[in-house]
Chain A
Amino acid sequence: MSDSFLTADSNETFAMLEGMLNTSVPRVRSTDVPSVFEVSGLDVSYGKKRVLHDVSLQIPEKRITAFIGPSGCGKSTALRCLNRMNDEIPSFRMEGRIRLAGQDIRARNVNLTALRRSVGMVFQQPNPFPMSIYDNIALAVREHQGRMGRAELDAVVEQALRHASLWDEVKDNLKDSALSLSGGQQQRLCIARALAVRPAVIMLDEPCASLDPISTARIEELLLELSTDYSIIIVTHNMAQAKRISDKVAFFLMGRLVEMGDALQVFEAPVRQETAEYIRGAFG
């Protein structure tokens, strides 16, 4: 099956689009499960500028949670708090508490490397390292797993690539540069890289924003599979996407969490008026 919209066979394309349309009804999976992340009272500012006000939410384990909302509403910022990527920004200030599996992620004895191993991240623009496909994953693995025999490393790389549904396409070209892959393949490589270190949570910040519909569909399919074993948080601009794949939805507006609930409930019968207006498309 081809990866690019432009080279796809037209029958294939129609089949895919049909599939996408058919799942416009939100999925139903119970979200009455333990929480992997618990956020309470999160306030974030960059210097003098307040970007998040008093955000409290819980991320259910082994489900797909979507953060939705218009541009600049703070959803990406909230995501980046969860693996403390915002710590890299000098003017970042945070109040409140974030717990991962019951442990405060900002406690003094927390190891940042361990946190980022448990919480993987995939970015909006695919960012594979300018190395071979194999090395992209091998580098990540060696960071966390130390010395490893060649055979063992090969196995881990293969497993990661299979998980990300990329193995069949690259298994003969593992030594090729990662930059020679198409956009969709690069993004799946980034997902494979994140998976290779065995995280518990995978966070994706608008992962399909720069991809064509067919690549998008493949990644959505992948996320649905992965959610049986991993907790997934996805920031997305694309409401249709949120409807297609998420179990739980959090709607952000101007730095506040306006509403959060089961996907079915939020999309069919939102509690707050702003949510209803956003879903209707009154603003974006």
Chain B
Amino acid sequence: MLSINGGGRHSVGSKVGTVLCWIASIIVAAVCVSIIGYLLWQGGHSINWRFLTSDPAASLMEDAAGGVRTPMAGTAILTLLSIALALPVAVGAAVYLAEYMSERWWITRIVRIGLETLASVPSVVFGMFGLSIFTMGTFKFLSGSGTEGGQAAFGRSFLVASIVMAVHILPFVIKVAEEAIRNIPASLRQGALALGMTKWRTISKVVLPAARSGIATAVVLGMGLAAGDTAIVWLTLGGSMTMAVDKWWEVGNWLATLRGAGSTLTTFAYFNSPAGDGNSAGAAFGAAFLLVCIVLIFNLAAVVLFRRRNLTGR
């Protein structure tokens, strides 16, 4: 008997399944929103002008951990230096992968496997790698500065941490940059070649400028990654409260600062949390608040850049 009404055997399963998926998604969205909300709320309490502009104080007394000025500077230094180191190599590699390398070569496969593997290496291992290499004699120049009583630890410094961090973010920046370059339509390259431009000129004068916003997205993502990492920083920079040099912001002291230890918002939060040595949950939350703000800004920037690419390109 032919019947086309009635839900059929599977309609119940259908409803239950759909509802479960909705529930799962709502849970996830709720968790994300509440984490950020919780941070903003809890951390917001700690944010005041004094907090932002004073330096951390080495005190075990509860809630006397001082401000976040040096950790903030530390995050800025580390993020900028890492992306500065990683970007040229990343864009170079991305260009070569997108424009010169054929997928059929064996060397291409090796490079891709190497990059994928590098991307799945945990932060802690990078940290140990940093410790293994930069405690070697040849790299002494990268660390070990510090005034009397200042923070001088052999093998640990902003320079060391930035180099290791650059290696950590490299595969991600390459991936995003390569996508951006590959997305430039072939017709543009053809047009340039037909005008007599050489391959490299085509790349440097037509393709890369056209891929500007995609590469900017890669930069922003890399910076977000560098700003949020704790394990690498903890191992290669330490958790010291102060910079290596007292007046670290003066240009003459820059090299000494870079060669010395310090902290970033992430290690500051880790240190001050009940899991670290400190006892000031408030300070930790304040730092976490700033971190979340930074991450939100970077994410927003990436989205905006992505949109802009779609408007000016084809």
Do chains A and B make direct contact within the complex (CB under 8 angstroms)? yes
Whether, in the assembled complex, A75 has its beta carbon less than 8 Å from a beta carbon of chain B, the answer is no
Q: Is A116 touching B194 in the complex (CB atoms < 8 A)?
A: yes
User: What 0/1 readout, one digit per residue, does chain A (211-255) give for beta carbons within 8 Å of chain B?
Assistant: 000000000000000000000000000000000000000000000
Name which residue of chain B comes closest to A194, CB basis. Answer: B195
Distance A123 CA – B185 CA, assembled complex (angstroms):
14
Name which residue of chain A comes closest to B311, CB basis. Answer: A179
Q: Is B195 touching A120 in the complex (CB atoms < 8 A)?
A: yes
With A113-B197, A143-B196, A143-B201 as contacts: A123 and B191 at CB distance below 8 Å = yes
Distance A116 CA – B188 CA, assembled complex (angstroms):
16
Q: How large is the interface on B (under 10, 10 to 19, 20 to 34, 35 or more residues)?
A: 20 to 34
Q: How large is the interface on A (under 10, 10 to 19, 20 to 34, 35 or more residues)?
A: 20 to 34
CB neighbors of B among A94-148 (8 A): 112-117, 120-121, 123, 125, 127-131, 139-140, 143-144
User: What 0/1 readout, one digit per residue, does chain A (58-96) give for beta carbons within 8 Å of chain B?
Assistant: 000000000000000000000000010100101000000
Whether, in the assembled complex, A197 has its beta carbon less than 8 Å from a beta carbon of chain B, the answer is yes
User: What 0/1 readout, one digit per residue, does chain B (176-209) give for beta carbons within 8 Å of chain A?
Assistant: 0000000001011011111111100100011001
Whether, in the assembled complex, B310 has its beta carbon less than 8 Å from a beta carbon of chain A, the answer is no
Distance A115 CA – B198 CA, assembled complex (angstroms):
12
Q: Is A127 touching B187 in the complex (CB atoms < 8 A)?
A: yes
Q: Is B194 touching A114 in the complex (CB atoms < 8 A)?
A: no
Partner of A121, one of B194, B209, B313: B194
Contacts of A90 in B (CB 8 A): 102
Q: Is A125 touching B187 in the complex (CB atoms < 8 A)?
A: yes
Q: Is B196 touching A112 in the complex (CB atoms < 8 A)?
A: yes
Whether, in the assembled complex, A193 has its beta carbon less than 8 Å from a beta carbon of chain B, the answer is yes
**What is the minimal beta-carbon distance from A72 to any residue of chain B, in angstroms?**
19
Q: Is B196 touching A116 in the complex (CB atoms < 8 A)?
A: yes
Q: Is B188 touching A127 in the complex (CB atoms < 8 A)?
A: yes
Give the interface centre of B193, B195, B197 by most chain A CB atoms within 10 Å: B195
**What is the minimal beta-carbon distance from B3 to any residue of chain A, in angstroms?**
51
Contacts of A113 in B (CB 8 A): 196-198
Contacts of A194 in B (CB 8 A): 194-195
User: What 0/1 readout, one digit per residue, does chain B (133-171) give for beta carbons within 8 Å of chain A?
Assistant: 000000000000000000000000000000000000000
Q: Is A140 touching B194 in the complex (CB atoms < 8 A)?
A: no
Give the interface centre of A85, A121, A197 by most chain B CB atoms within 10 Å: A121
A contacts, CB < 8 Å to B: 83, 85, 88, 90, 112-117, 120-121, 123, 125, 127-131, 139-140, 143-144, 177, 179, 190, 193-194, 197
Given A115-B196, A125-B187, 6 more pairs with CB closer than 8 A: A85-B193, A116-B195, A127-B190, A129-B191, A130-B314, A143-B201
B contacts, CB < 8 Å to A: 102, 185, 187-188, 190-198, 201, 205-206, 209-210, 312-314
